[in-house]
Homo-oligomer: A and B are copies of this chain.
Amino acid sequence: LDYQHVQVPFEITLWIMLASLAKIGFHLYNKLPSVVPESCLLIFVGLIMGGIIYGFNDRSPPVMDSDIFFLYLLPPIVLDAGYFMPSRPFFENIGTILLYAVVGTIWNVFGIGFSLYGICQVKSFRLQDVSLLHNLLFGSLIAAVDPVAVLAVFEEIHVNEKLHILVFGESLLNDAVTVVLYKLFRSFCEMPTIKSVDVFAGIGKFFVVGLGGVLVGLSFGFTAAFTTRFTKDIRVIEPLFVFLYSYLSYLTAEMFHLSGIVAIISCAMGMKRYVEANISLKSHTTVKYFMKMWSSVSDTLIFIFLGVSTIGENHEWNWPYICFTVIFCLVWRALGVLVLTFFVNRFHVNTITSKDQFIIAYGGLRGAICFSLVFLLPDFHRKKLFIAATTVVILFTVFVQGMTIRPLVDLLAVKRKRESAPTVGEQIHIRFLDHLLAGIEDISGHWGQYYWKDKLEYFNSKYLQKILLREYDQPKSSIVLLYEKLERKHAMELAQAGQLGHGLAHPSFLCSAFLCSSSDRTVIRDQKLEDTPNPDVLDNMQEILARNLYRIRRTGPAYNRHTLPGDSEPTERAKEILILRHKSL
């Protein structure tokens, strides 16, 4: 027997196997996952495992290594989150999300830090040796909402898309703030005196860490898209590039002390569109499937390890400190959400209801990131107290909040996610409204999100697509792509049912349905036309859509040495269909 030789891969494989088998086990009993969130069950499995290890070895079981967590377990989950991020609701609510992620997190950090410092001043609690800086440091690691925990719970309760993206987006983007504050306070702890310059440098760092992450991510994302232009002859390694480049973006960002989470999300969101167009259908299935698989395993491992690491002798128990930590975490988050939402609602028509606010506040789950950060703290005499408090907060949020959030959502009748995908007719309407609003914004001189979206789309089709796409000559609108996808799915279903000979939803019919805008997928499929096929109709339809939609005037810079204001070229102006029609009338 030569166990030494194979130990490392063998144990890794066994842990992954345990995680996968645990997942299967839970799903065998259908009733269990509907009552208890999977994350709780996994932590429970971890606690049992930890207990067994502790019982046999008579010493604390191995603690989840922070390096393993940040380098190997976290990236797959964040990559998956970024790649499958619904970009429309995300960008529609980006302002609100950033407000929650940046201002909200800072609010929580200082709120929790200062109030815990207040608690430490009470003599009978015997906590007077915990300084303000240490409390703020603890606040910075306990304040951040954890994307892994949030995903695990929110994926199961199916709240409406906006609510989901608000909590989830916040949990992802607060990484930049957490990283900065945590490192800032940690370095302050080690400095003899703190100058005001350092504080301002810290504030400047927010932007460097966040925007730097975005830049690193986007550059790797575009490189990935560019690389997949050349993989036509070796389809089989296409999926690899998606994983390699996103992982590199994460590692590079971490290397330069930027936000790795922000980097990998930008990378995934940046490359997705182009990579999907370049790689083959099977490669894309593999990418999607493997990403889901990987993140699901990572997620499982993290919760099991959380459970295992809880068992042991790392804890120093102090009732008041731990209880007040839990209370302050809840109170400050609730207050922060209330105050911030008050301001958000003043500037938006589509307000956040008080029910939604409650769920946002209540959904602020803490998880493995806090746990890893607390173990990364430099050694000082109260570290074990912080570890105990962090563990309790995590277990409280995951177990109590995680298990009660579903009944609460039911009780409050929070608006749920719509079950069905949007119909073709709805998609047409949404797109039409986008163009209409862009036109209105352009005419009224208000540069809102639709204006910028249109500008970005223009930049994309004019420059990016030419560089990043292999087959640029056939740019397809999202509707045509959707149509193709539906047809493909339909064909597969028919082939599986063995009814390929039936009359089918027909392209030409579908197009006319598109144009009259009252179509619905079910209606289409019920109709059976025996027409001859005419794929040209599709192109026609696409052209009509493209020609008749409003285009924003490509305004030049306000001041130009060589042209007078308003002296735009006539050919440019010819494209502005609406204005042109106006004139002809």
Residues of B within 8 A of A206 (CB): none
- Decide: A236 near B491, CB < 8 A? Known: A247-B13, A498-B535: no
Question: Is the pair A236, B289 in contact by a Cβ cutoff of 8 Å?
Answer: yes
Determine whether the beta carbon of A251 is less than 8 Å from that of B500.
no
CB contact between A241 and one of B5, B20, B231, B491 (< 8 Å): that residue: B20
Contact with B along A384-415 (1 / 0, CB 8 A): 00000000000000000000000000000000
Cβ of A19 to closest chain B Cβ, rounded Å:
9
A201 CB contacts on chain B under 8 angstroms? none
Considering the complex, which residues of chain A in the window 232-259 have a beta carbon less than 8 Å from any beta carbon of chain B?
A: 233-234, 236-237, 239-241, 244, 247-248, 251-252, 254-257
Tell me if A283 is interfacial: C-beta within 8 Å of chain B: yes
Inter-subunit contact A293/B6 (CB<8 Å): no
Which range holds the interface residue count of chain A?
A: 35 or more
A72 on the interface (CB 8 Å rule)?
Answer: yes
Instruction: Return A319 CB to nearest CB of chain B, in Å.
Output: 37
A2→B70 CA distance, assembly (Å)? 14
- The answer to whether residues A230 and B20 also contact, given A286-B286, A289-B239 and a CB cut-off of 8 A, is no
- Complex CA–CA separation, A72 to B492 (angstroms): 37
Write the chain B residue with the least CB distance to A487.
Answer: B495
A204 vs chain B, min Cβ distance (A): 19
Interchain CB contact under 8 A, B257 and A2: yes
Q: Is the interface of A mostly helix, strand, loop or mixed?
A: helix
Task: Tell me if A501 is interfacial: C-beta within 8 Å of chain B.
Answer: yes
- Identity of the chain B residue whose Cβ is nearest the Cβ of A21 in the assembled complex: B227
**Residues 472-522 of A at the B interface (beta carbon under 8 Å):** 484, 487-488, 490-492, 494-496, 498-507
**Cβ–Cβ contact A230 & B532, under 8 A:** no
Interface pair B501/A255, CB less than 8 Å apart: no
Q: Does A285 contact B (CB under 8 A)?
A: yes
Instruction: Let me know if A464 is at the binding interface, CB within 8 A.
Output: no
A417: interface (CB < 8 Å): no
Interfacial chain B residues near A237, Cβ < 8 Å: 20, 23-24, 293, 296-297
Check: A152 CB closer than 8 A to any chain B CB. Answer: no
Question: C-beta contact mask, A547-562 vs B, less than 8 Å → 1, else 0?
Answer: 0000000000000000
User: Given the interface contacts A230-B24, A234-B27, does A255 sit within 8 Å of B290 by beta carbon?
Assistant: no
**CB 8 Å contact bits of A319-331 with B (1 = contact, 0 = none):** 0000000000000
Closest B residue to A536 using CB positions? B498
Task: Give complex CA distance A538, B490 in Å.
Answer: 22
For residue A34, give the distance in angstroms from its CB to the closest CB of chain B. Answer: 12
Tell me if A1 counts as interface (CB < 8 A to partner B).
yes
**A380: CB under 8 A from chain B?**
no
Question: Is A347 an interface residue when CB atoms closer than 8 A count as contact?
Answer: no
Which residue, of A6, A72, A255, has the highest number of chain B Cβ atoms within 10 A?
A6
Give the residues in chain B near A27, CB-CB below 8 Å: 233-234
In the complex, what distance in Å separates the CA atom of A494 from the CA atom of B531? Answer: 16
Residues of B within 8 A of A501 (CB): 503-504, 506-507, 529-533
Question: Chain B contacts of A431 at CB under 8 A?
Answer: none
Determine the distance from Cα of A252 to Cα of B16 in the docked complex, in whole angstroms: 16
A162 at interface (Cβ–Cβ under 8 A)?
no
With A257-B2, A487-B498 given, is the CB distance from A9 to B247 under 8 Å? Answer: yes
Asked whether B230 lies within 8 Å of A28 as measured between CB atoms, the reply is yes
| Residues of chain B within 8 A of A230, CB atoms compared | 24, 28
> A491 CA to B9 CA in the complex, in Å?
43
B67 engages A5 (CB within 8 Å):
yes
Q: Shortest beta-carbon distance, A533 to chain B, in Å?
A: 5
Known: A20-B241, A230-B28, A231-B24. A498 touches B251 (CB 8 A): no
Contact B257 A71 (CB under 8 A): no
**Closest Cβ–Cβ distance, residue A27 to chain B (whole Å):** 4
Q: Which residues of B contact A502 (CB under 8 A)?
A: 533
| A72, A484, A491, most chain B CB atoms within 10 A | A491
Since A10-B251, A20-B244 are in contact, a sample of 18 more A-B pairs with Cβ atoms closer than 8 Å, ordered by chain A residue number, is A2-B254, A2-B255, A5-B255, A10-B252, A16-B240, A20-B240, A23-B237, A27-B234, A237-B293, A237-B296, A237-B297, A282-B289, A285-B285, A487-B495, A487-B498, A492-B492, A498-B538, A501-B529
11 CB contacts below 8 A, A to B, read A5-B254, A10-B248, A10-B252, A14-B248, A20-B244, A283-B289, A286-B286, A484-B496, A491-B495, A500-B505, A500-B507
